Copies of this chain bind each other. A is one copy, B any other.
C-alpha cells in the first residue's frame, strides 16, 4: 500500500502523491520568488536568503530544490519562458485573413505577450546576464527569438505571394519588425518614469509604419 494509492489517485487514475503535488507547488513558489528577487537586483546581487524569505521558507529548503544559485536562475528562465512559446503558437492558428490583417494581429499579440510583467523582466535579465550564461542566451534565442522570427517571416511570405507586400531583399527584416516591441518592453522597465510610453498609441504607430513600409 505504499505509493499512496487510494486518496493519492487522481482523476486520470495515475497515483500522484500529495507529496509530489506539494513539492511541485513549492518549486513553483520558489521560482516565482526567484523571479522577483533577480528582477529587482540582477543575478550577482541577489541573495539566496532573500529568495527563501520571499517564498516563505528557509535558505536550506531552496537547496533541496535547486543545486545552486545558477541552477535556480536557469530554472526560472526556463519555467517562465515555456508558456510563451505555447501562447505564440496558439495565437498563430493559421487563418484565411489577408497578410496585412494577420501581421497587424500578430504584432498586437506580440506586444501583449512581451509587455507582460514577468516576461519583459526576463528579457531584460537575458540581456543583462546573457553573456555570462551562454546556454541561457542560446535557449532564449532558440525558443523565443528564432521561433518568433519564423512566424513573422511566414506572414511576410504570404503577403509577398498575394501581392500585398513588396519583396524586400536585405537581411533581418523580421528582427527589424519586432524591434519596436523589444524596445518598448525595455523602455518600460528602464526609462518609463522619465518619458512614459503610451503603449496603445505606440503600438499603432509601429503597425502603421511597418505595414506602410511593406506595402507593395
A residues neighboring B (CB under 8 Å): 40-45, 124, 126-132, 137-138, 141-142, 145-146, 168-173, 175-180, 182-184, 186-187, 189-191, 194-195, 197-198, 201-202, 204-206, 208-215
- With beta carbons under 8 angstroms apart, the residue of B128, B175, B183, B191 that contacts A124 is B128
Residue of B129, B137, B169, B194 touching A191 (CB-CB under 8 A): B137
Closest to A206 in B: B176
- Among B137, B178, B183, contact of A190 (Cβ-Cβ < 8 Å): B137
**Nearest 7 pairs of A and B residues by beta carbon:** A128-B128, A170-B205, A213-B213, A44-B44, A179-B183, A172-B202, A209-B213
Given known pairs A179-B179, A179-B182, the reply for A208 and B141 (CB within 8 Å) is no
| A48 CB → nearest B CB, Å | 14
A202 and B130 in contact, given A179-B182, A183-B175 (Cβ under 8 angstroms): no
Q: Which residues of B contact A44 (CB under 8 A)?
A: 41-45
Chain B: which residue is nearest A211 at the CB level? Answer: B213
Chain A interface main SS type: helix
Q: In the complex the two chains form, is B137's CB within 8 Å of A194's CB?
A: yes
The one of B127, B175, B180 that contacts A128, using a Cβ cutoff of 8 Å = B127
Q: Which residues of B contact A172 (CB under 8 A)?
A: 184, 197-198, 201-202, 205-206
Given contacts A209-B214, A214-B209, contact A176 B170 (CB under 8 A): no
Q: Give the distance in Å from the alpha carbon of A191 to the alpha carbon of B182 in the complex.
A: 14
Contact B130 A190 (CB under 8 A): yes
Name A183's contact: one of B173, B182, B212, B214 (CB within 8 Å): B182
A145 proximity list for chain B (CB < 8 A): 191, 195
CA distance A210 to B173 in the complex (A): 11
Chain B residues in 8 Å Cβ range of A183? 175-176, 178-179, 182-183
Closest to A132 in B: B41
